[in-house]
Amino acid sequence: GEDVEQSLFLSVREGDSSVINCTYTDSSSTYLYWYKQEPGAGLQLLTYIFSNMDMKQDQRLTVLLNKKDKHLSLRIADTQTGDSAIYFCAESLSGYSTLTFGKGTMLLVSP
Amino acid sequence: EAGVVQSPRYKIIEKKQPVAFWCNPISGHNTLYWYLQNLGQGPELLIRYENEEAVDDSQLPKDRFSAERLKGVDSTLKIQPAELGDSAVYLCASSPGGGGGPTGELFFGEGSRLTVL
């Protein structure tokens, strides 16, 4: 079955880069996502990557996908205090399948 | 455009009492989800609707949980009777159709936080 694992906590200083890692088990996953959850709010899609891609860049965000190791990472450049939130990795077998979420990584950015 | 609306935002009840949560998805979104989020955990699917049809309710504890989406628009999730372990956030999400479509984007409400005493 599908399973998504993430490290639980990451602390960085403002201006540094943050790297949040995720591993997944289902090699059939074709879509991988990063969602952000701020306190007291629902989840919001940050970015996504298709399994036929190795990398995707979107402004300060860079997603790297290693299909062989089933490893996904999210790099946030020039991390700001407003980036403090919980980041969830998610996978689906197709863009029309139900998403399976990881437990989330809490990112704390200190001034 | 209004986002996914959920109510109530917070609910405190005693165990064995019933509770109901309401969700109004984004207009035109055919797919609606109810997710359970325990403290420190990611969302876990309870039920997924395509229009008024529940297409995946395999993780819904049917002895005490029920859900409906009668006209294929808004939805209600009910727990009766509530147990201490039901304390969690209940998230509703919607998407235009079938999963999140090509981008997998689900639009989440702010959630309903339930505390069972």
Give residue A23's pLDDT band: very low, low, confident or very high (50, 70, 90): very high
Dist. CA A45–CA A88, nearest whole Å: 9
At residue A21, the pLDDT reads 96
At residue B102, the pLDDT reads 59
At residue B103, the pLDDT reads 66
CB contact under 8 A, A96 and B98: yes
* Pair B97, B33: CB distance under 8 Å: no
Q: Tell me the nearest-neighbour CA distance from A1 into chain B, angstroms.
A: 14
Q: A20 φ, ψ to 5°? A: -110, 130
Q: Going residue by residue through chain B (117 aa), what tens digit of pLDDT does each one get?
A: 689 999 999 999 999 999 999 999 999 899 999 999 999 899 999 999 999 999 999 999 999 999 999 888 999 999 999 999 999 999 999 988 655 555 668 899 999 999 999
Q: What is the mean pLDDT of residues A24-45?
A: 88
Dist. CA A24–CA A100, nearest whole Å: 10
Dist. CA B71–CA B49, nearest whole Å: 11
In this complex, the residue of B41, B42, B102 whose CB is nearest that of residue A95 is B102
Residue-wise pLDDT for A41-92, tens only, equals 889 999 999 888 899 999 999 999 999 999 999 999 999 999 999 999 998 8
Q: Tell me the nearest-neighbour CA distance from A44 into chain B, angstroms.
A: 7
> Buried b vs exposed e over B11-47: b needs ≥16 C-beta within 10 Å?
bebeeeeebebebbbbeebbbbbbbbbeeeebbebbb
At residue A52, the pLDDT reads 87
CB contact under 8 A, B103 and A45: yes
Dist. CA A92–CA B38, nearest whole Å: 21
A45–chain B Cβ distance below 8 A for any pair: yes
CB contact under 8 A, B91 and A43: yes
CB contact under 8 A, B41 and A104: yes
Dist. CA A104–CA B108, nearest whole Å: 16
At residue A95, the pLDDT reads 65
Give the tokens for residue B24: 């109004």
Contacts of B43 in chain A (CB under 8 A): 43, 88, 101
